[in-house]
Amino acid sequence: MAPIVREVRATGASWCYKAACDHLRGAGLSGLVAEHGAEEKSIQRWCGAEPFACDGQGVFTALSRAIVYQQLAGAAADTIYGRFLGIFGGAPPTPEALMAHGMAIRSAGLSQRKAEYLLDLASAVADGRIDAARIPTLTEEELQEMLCGVRGIGPWTVDMFMMFTMKRPDVLPSGDLGIRKGAKVHFELGSLPNATELATLTERWRPYRTLGCWFLYKVADQAKPDKRKPKPKAKAKAKAKAKATAEAVRKREPDASAGAATPPAKRRRAPALKEEEEEEEGAARRSPRRPSRRASA
């Protein structure tokens, strides 16, 4: 492993990336540290960015982006967030600017619920329910209590805020599916670990569980099946299904001798999109309609 002496400029107190790698190497992650610790992508992720400006605007920008991205696929979330910024000239809005727009922010493709969440967040930052000046000194439990008082912000969002925005060194997002999947593979478990099991398994990683969890994300990504190459069983199943479909179609063909045709099958109606996230993804995919010639005449 190449020498690493870079500093992680976290909110509150910085920590040493090399010291974290050395600790995790001795805590059962030597293979993962050797494989991912010296990756330039990992080093840049933790050591390359400027320290987070933990003021009212910085906190509001980070949390509002987290709310927009909740329960959405990456591409759809990127599109909607880009439109959201576009409402404010391409830059993150202040809490006051967002409140002035009100529910008009839904024009970005946001669901009504998420728009309400964003407005509540703006109000909380403006009226002091979220006190940015106190955040660097708060314990994890105190920060959870403060931020989870805002609609739309739960423990997972706070964990991601502490881990990736504040870069605190010892965060364990025990409810994160990617981390649980990575732990299942790394520790060779029969099922996904629950919060208590994950805390026990990672106890040796303290005080650098943040970086250990980053390596578990890497493990989970590598364990994903290649969707471009279907497995033999899947291919055989698809072939059998196609054969059965062809046979069913052949049986429904008109009987020439009887002079009667089989009535066409009724077309199924697509189920209505009920989830607001589906509504948002649909909005993200829609392109603006072109004006008709009649309208432009």
Beta bridge partners of 255: 260
pLDDT of residue 243: 76
Cis peptide before 207 (omega within 30 of 0): yes
Q: How far apart are CA 254 and CA 49, in angstroms?
A: 68
User: Cα Rg for the chain, rounded, in angstroms?
Assistant: 25
Token readout for 261 is 């045709």
Q: Catalytic positions, please?
A: 176
**Dihedral sign for Cα atoms in the order 186, 189, 191, 194:** negative
pLDDT in tens, the chain (297 residues): 445 558 999 998 999 999 999 999 999 999 999 999 999 999 999 998 888 989 999 999 999 999 999 988 778 999 999 999 999 999 999 999 999 999 999 999 999 999 999 999 999 999 999 999 999 999 999 999 999 999 999 999 999 999 999 999 999 999 999 999 999 999 999 999 999 999 999 999 999 999 999 999 999 999 876 555 555 666 677 777 777 777 776 666 554 444 444 444 444 444 443 455 556 666 666 645 444 444 444
pTM value? Answer: 0.74
Q: How far is residue 138 from each of residues 52, 141, 207, measured CA to CA in Å? A: 16, 8, 17
- Among residues 158, 176, 165, the alpha carbon closest in space to that of 213 is found at 176
- Strand locations in 7-80 (E): 7-8, 15-16
Token readout for 66 is 């987290």
Residue 116: how many other CB atoms lie within 10 Å: 15
How many angstroms from the chain centroid is the CA of residue 197? 23
